[in-house]
Amino acid sequence: MTPRERYLETLLFGAPDRIPFQPGGPREKTLKRWRQEGLPESGDWFLHLCREIGVQPEVPNAPVAHPGVNFRMNPVFEEKVIEHKDGHYIVQDWMGNITEISDEYDYTYIRDAKDFVTRKWHAFPVATRADFDAMKKRYNPDDPSRYPADFADRVKVMRERDYVVQIGFPGPFWQLREWCGFEPLCLLFLEDPEFVREMVDFWTMFVSRTMARVLDAGVVDAIWISEDMAYKEKSMISPHMAREFLLPAWSRWVSEGRHAGVRVFDMDSDGRVDDLIPLWIEAGINVCDPIEVAAGCDINAYRAAFGHGIAYRQGVDKRCIAKGGNDMEQELARVAPVLEDGGYIPGCDHGVPHDISWLHFVRYAKRLAEMTGWL
């Protein structure tokens, strides 16, 4: 099978020849540790891992191209340090937030998830309707820069693909939280629900219009929606609120994607998602991740409750990988029934943290490769 066929067959409860080998990826500090423990300084860490355990990595036979569609604000805010004292920076990030971070890092770490960076928020760019009116100007779906200049050429390549083509963007809860801040947004749900609806409607329309061109090209296999809307024990807003405010956006995007031939709709949310999964299934979401064990997520219980209504990715407890040995073996044995039942690509249940040694990660990866049919 090609990588694309294998991925789709696995997540759509088909009959893959093997399960995709996706053990999880390290952050910057994790890579630094691994290089001190034997991972070569140069070259791709994953290719080194595959050579060490004897796995032939999936390599597309055809040239690789990606859509390159950009859902971020344009223009972005100026990134700058406002204050530096007592081992901390107070910075304005590209989203317009005023945040405080350790001076071990800088504002470039907020652009992408290079490491696990703890932040304290001081202010957010949207506090009033006037702020939102100004923010909307940064999200023009007809902005030519939203697509690369060579998009038509990329489409020609993607039509011959044997790899998965995916687009991803924030869901409404994630995006409104970025604009308003978590606590202010939660208060808005209660105190000014019409303002919340206005922002959700704008974001829903922006995403739909922005992705329309790539959907029309018929080359997208998967849509990945980022929400991160659960704590360790519960969702951040009630299922009732999620149904009222968020479900229409999810459902619309799934409908538009399905009409364009998209087959995988993957919802990303940390935390305990028990109460949210039924809503995602109702919306047409058919995959979710990362299934964080420390938050109380139980992939076996989910399979018992929801059957083949939804597939999963990740779900292996990072804490057990860090411990290694019998703890790691027992953890992989725990997820084995879901792996055997189908609709599951196992891997570390979030970015791989730096308390996982290279030795333990290699042993875990080798065992995972055996379970997924690569060894």
Q: Taken in order 170, 172, 173, 179, is the CA torsion positive or negative?
A: positive
Phi and psi at residue 166, in whole multiples of 5°?
-130, 145
Q: How far apart are CA 11 and CA 342, in angstroms?
A: 7
- Every domain of the chain and the residues it spans: 3-72+126-371, 78-124
Indicate the pTM of the whole model: 0.96
Question: In Å, what is the CA distance from 313 to each residue of 19, 22, 170, 287, 310?
Answer: 11, 9, 18, 7, 10
pLDDT (tens place) for every residue of the chain, 375 residues total? 999 999 999 999 999 999 999 999 999 999 999 999 999 999 999 999 999 999 999 988 888 999 999 999 999 999 999 999 999 999 999 999 999 999 998 888 888 878 888 889 999 999 999 999 999 999 999 999 999 999 999 999 999 999 999 999 999 999 999 999 999 999 999 999 999 999 999 999 999 999 999 999 999 999 999 999 999 989 999 999 999 999 999 999 999 999 999 999 999 999 999 999 999 999 999 999 999 999 999 999 999 999 999 999 999 999 999 999 999 999 999 999 999 999 999 999 989 999 999 999 999 999 999 999 999
We find that the CATH architecture of domain 3-72+126-371 is Alpha-Beta Barrel (3.20)
The residue type of 361 is F
* Residues comprising the chain, all counted: 375
